[in-house]
Structure 1
Amino acid sequence: MNQKRTFGSLLTLLGIAAIIYGALGLLGMVALSKINSLVPLGVGLIFFFAGISLVRATGDRPA
């Protein structure tokens, strides 16, 4: 597996985790205020879309 594709997958998974954590903060299920929960939500969105675009841009090479 390509290193860029692996890093993109890792960024995507971290983004999903941060989005879930930020959403739980917005709903009040985690010890974050509503304003402070926007930070992990924003970072998660950045990581998620960066990871998705990295995976899409990296082409497969035939073995």
Structure 2
Amino acid sequence: MNVKRIFGTVLTILGIIGLIYTGYELINKSANYTTLIVVGIIGLIFFFSGIGLVKNTKDAA
């Protein structure tokens, strides 16, 4: 398996975790909205960059 594809998968999983955490804290009405905005934006960046790496990496045997 390609290193870029593994790194893309890890980034995607970290992005999903960040987005789930942000959603969970927003539902619980946490008072730290600044922290949640930062975590949400970083989660989105990780998620989309991970998806892009997995999608654009060619499988060479």
Please give the range of the TM-score, normalised by the shorter of the 2 chains: 0.7 to 0.9
Match of 1:14 in 2: 14
Which one has a larger percent helix, Structure 1 or Structure 2?
2
RMSD: 1.5
Identity %: 46
- What is the number of residues matched between the two proteins? 61
Higher relative contact order (CA 8 A, sep 6+): 2
The gaps in structure 2 that reach 5 residues or longer are: none
SS of residue paired to 1:60? coil
Letter in 2 for 1:35: T
After TM superposition, the runs of 4+ consecutive aligned structure 1 residues lying more than 6 A away are: none
The gaps in structure 1 that reach 5 residues or longer are: none
1:5 aligns with 2:5: yes
Letter in 1 for 2:14: L
